[in-house]
Structure 1
Amino acid sequence: MSVHVSLLQVEELMNPTTWLDAGAQVFYAFGIAWGGLISFSSYNPVHNNCVQDSVILSVVTGLTSVYAATVTYSIIGFRATEKYDTCINDQSNEIFIIASSLQGDMTPAGLSVSTQHHNILIYSHQATAKYGVEGTGLAFIVFTEAITKMPGSPAWSVLFFIMLLCLGLSTLFGNTEGVIVPLKDLNLFPKKWPHEILTVSCWILTQDPLFLFFRRIYWVTLFDNFAGSVPLLTIGLFEMIAVVYIYGIDRFNEDIKFMVGRKPSIFWQITWRFISPLIVLVILVFYLVAQAQKQLNYLVWDINSVSLQPPS
């Protein structure tokens, strides 16, 4: 079984969705292409050292992501191990009954029955262990199960959900700023309107009707799977093209020199011109080509369609 799992993990690297999710996660973690960073930076003074701020933000966010991934995968591994042990203990009697029913029949047909049943147990456990580790399930299923096993679980539960609340509000503030600030700069809102009122109104009008009242988890899953991956990387790609090839990298370098007193190094020149656009473009093309070769289908949000059994 260990060999099979290892091969499965290597094959996962050939899945374009894996690379798409990885790229989207980078954009999520660093707040790229959401508009929030640009809106917040508009409040800085003209000669703010934006290069230093970018490096600090990248290093801190990268280290935070590594630390968070270590904690997350440790919890997922603990949960999978516990599920596996529970699965073996709960079904040991059934295995014994099936083995006894063979009554010494070691023919290929008898062995086939035993092997087939053993594989079903393994794959069913793998599906069960994987269930709930994506999207909202990671926070409300996996982590909550882990917290219940910790000493002083009520205190950890309160701290964990306070952390989730603060994380959600901070993300919401940043995303909302990316919408409100450009609209105010275009004078679409009167300047005398309080900024706080505009922010709350934007939350109520754009997110509450979908995510609070009408099939809540369905819309969250829909946006998480489709609105936060391909569109996000596409926006980031066109932002790089607009700055480097339309506005002009030379003009952009002069703007940075005006702000910080020196031009960016050759490392940034190569990254902005070639490396970053090429990486994002390869991920998008790889994903779109793979998706175009698949049969178009749509899974209706029906609880009866969700199954933990492996596909036949």
Structure 2
Amino acid sequence: LINPNTWLDAGAQVFFSFGLAWGGLISFSSYNPLHNNCKNDAIILSVVTAATSVYAAMVTYTIIGFRATAKYDQSRIQRQLWGWIFSPVTCKSFLVRYLYSFLTLLEVLHASHMSVMSFQGVEGPGLAFIVFTEAIINMPASPAWAVLFFIMLLCLGLSTLIGTFEGVIVPFTSMPRINLCVSGVTFLTAFIITLLFAQHSGFYWVTLFDNFAGSVPLLCIGLFEIVIVVYVYGVDRFNEDIKFMIGSKPGIFWQVTWRFVSPLIMLVILIFYLVTQAQGELTYLVWDPSSVS
């Protein structure tokens, strides 16, 4: 928990889960009736998102555990086979005994590093495209699970895409001709950018975008949004707007959260991360063309 990257990733996950700082929520809210109860919507969204995150975490760690167990069982069978072939009972050669001792040492080292092997590639894009795929292959009725899993990924991608582009297109809906042009230019630009991900180095670009474009920028945008609403536009005016919509002002919990808790948490995480990064050496992954045959 001392590592600021942990808190940064946790904060970014909150932004991803709720769709904050992407513009999608603001765009979708523009379709609501004038007197829509936005407070109840916020509570329902928070509860459903939290429950979904807990459920997704349970499924994710179950899959990771299944993968680790399968890897360990496969490795154990291989070690037992080699141990039987090179056992002193099978052959009395000094060299073979030496190999048997070496295999025993490898088994001890393997057991000590089991946790490292179990969690290789379980973060970032590798979780969906490597770990889950590898685990699904070893499951009963693997074709059915594979189809369901990638249909789920497709639905998640499309829903995220729609919400993201709504934040760009909705402000121009009052101008039909301009709206059509903006939609075309936006989708064409996105299509050209995503051609990077279809190259041999596509996974590298996905990882690069995931590491540098999905955490700090979202945190900064979210911090600026809440500061502008609370301290520039004014929280009192904001309360009056909500009272006009739902008939009552938000309670003390919302006031304290908007004024102090949320800005302070985001500011502390951001400063802690930037200070830690400035004190260390900045590094990034480099694409190795030889990794693709």
Note whether the superposition's TM-score is higher than 0.5.
yes
2:252 matched residue in structure 1: 266
The answer to whether the 8 A contact 2:24-2:164 is kept is yes
Rounded Cα–Cα distance in structure 1 between residues aligned with 2:100 and 2:32: 79
Rounded Cα–Cα distance in structure 1 between residues aligned with 2:97 and 2:289: 37
Report the CA distance shift for 1:170/1:191 in structure 2 as closer, same or farther (over 3 A): same
Report the CA distance shift for 1:260/1:195 in structure 2 as closer, same or farther (over 3 A): farther
Report the CA distance shift for 1:75/1:303 in structure 2 as closer, same or farther (over 3 A): farther
The answer to whether the 8 A contact 2:34-2:245 is kept is yes
Rounded Cα–Cα distance in structure 1 between residues aligned with 2:25 and 2:130: 31
The answer to whether the 8 A contact 2:169-2:183 is kept is no
Counterpart pick for 1:174 among 143, 146, 163: 163
2:180 is paired with a residue whose SS is coil
Report the CA distance shift for 1:114/1:16 in structure 2 as closer, same or farther (over 3 A): farther
- 1:31 counterpart = 2:19: yes
- 1:291 counterpart = 2:280: no
1:200 Cα offset (Å): 4.2
The answer to whether the 8 A contact 1:47-1:259 is kept is yes
1:164 matched residue in structure 2: 153
- 1:226 counterpart = 2:212: yes
After superposition, residues 110-149 of structure 1 pair within 5 angstroms as 120-122=109-111, 125-149=114-138
Q: Which amino acid in structure 2 is aligned with residue 141 of structure 1?
A: I
1:274 Cα offset (Å): 0.7
Report the CA distance shift for 1:66/1:246 in structure 2 as closer, same or farther (over 3 A): same
The answer to whether the 8 A contact 1:33-1:235 is kept is yes
| 194-203 or 68-77, which deviates more | 194-203
The answer to whether the 8 A contact 2:79-2:103 is kept is no
1:145 Cα offset (Å): 2.5
TM-score (norm 1): 0.79
Report the CA distance shift for 1:240/1:116 in structure 2 as closer, same or farther (over 3 A): farther
Report the CA distance shift for 1:295/1:114 in structure 2 as closer, same or farther (over 3 A): farther
2:177 is paired with a residue whose SS is coil
- The aligned length equals 283
2:21 is paired with a residue whose SS is coil
The answer to whether the 8 A contact 2:87-2:100 is kept is no
Q: Which amino acid in structure 1 is aligned with residue 17 of structure 2?
A: A
- 1:58 counterpart = 2:55: no
1:193 matched residue in structure 2: 180
TM-score (norm 2): 0.84
Counterpart pick for 1:216 among 193, 196, 202: 202
Rounded Cα–Cα distance in structure 2 between residues aligned with 1:249 and 1:271: 11
**Stretches of structure 1 lacking an aligned partner (at least 5 in a row):** 1-12, 105-112, 306-312
Report the CA distance shift for 1:117/1:149 in structure 2 as closer, same or farther (over 3 A): closer
| 208-217 or 195-204, which deviates more | 195-204
Counterpart pick for 1:101 among 98, 102, 105: 98
1:73 Cα offset (Å): 0.8
Q: Identity of aligned pairs, percent?
A: 62
